[in-house]
Amino acid sequence: MVKAKTNAARLLDQAGVRYELREYPVDEADLSAPHVAAALGLPPEQVFKTLVARGDRGGVLLAVIPANTELDLKALAAASGNKKVELVPVKEVLGLTGYIRGGVSPVGTRKPYPVYLDETADLWDFISVSAGLRGCQMLVAPEDLARVVGAQRCAIAK
């Protein structure tokens, strides 16, 4: 049972979205999304990581992609109307999002940023995304997540 609701979970509650919180043991030596998927007993294609990037024209944005993939920076640039996109340095993630590395949720960031959700999310009844802290994931329908965060679906994973 999850001990406390995160801000991301409270925002889903306010939006009337059904979701499930799942805790897992955190391994500080391995914060990778595939490790989280294994801890949850879900295929890595169903567990999505949230990456913080910055475009040369549009500024900060979030990319939500499957655990076992890499971000296609050129595809994200094209989808977001930027000429070039780069991942932000890890040291900037907390200040920009309010979340620490390994716990970045696409829901409830410090400021609202554009969200780009890899289109493979639509292959699943539910996907897993961070609930806003290490050791806790939210299982949520991709269409509900996209609606709440205003996500654009696109092919951004490789």
DSSP code per residue over 41-84? T--GGGBEEEEEEEETTTEEEEEEEETT--B-HHHHHHHHT-S-
pLDDT of residue 3: 58
pLDDT of residue 2: 55
Q: What is d(CA 121, CA 118) in angstroms, rounded to the nearest whole number?
A: 6
Strand locations in the chain (E): 19-23, 48-55, 59-66, 85-87, 115-118, 127-133, 136-140, 152-154
Kindly list the domain boundaries of the chain, sorted by start residue: 7-154
Q: Are 66 and 118 in contact (CB under 8 A)?
A: yes
Asked whether the predicted pLDDT for residue 91 surpasses 60, the reply is yes
Strand partners, 47: 128
Over residues 5-38, the pLDDT tens digits come to 889 999 999 999 999 999 999 988 888 899 999 9
Q: How far is CA 128 from CA 36, 56, 59, in A?
A: 10, 29, 26
Strands 85-87 and 59-66: unpaired
- Residue 97 phi, psi dihedral angles, 5° rounding: -105, -25
pLDDT of residue 93: 97
Q: Which CATH architecture has domain 7-154?
A: Alpha-Beta Complex (3.90)
Q: What is d(CA 12, CA 117) in angstroms, rounded to the nearest whole number?
A: 17
Locus of tokens 């913080």: 52
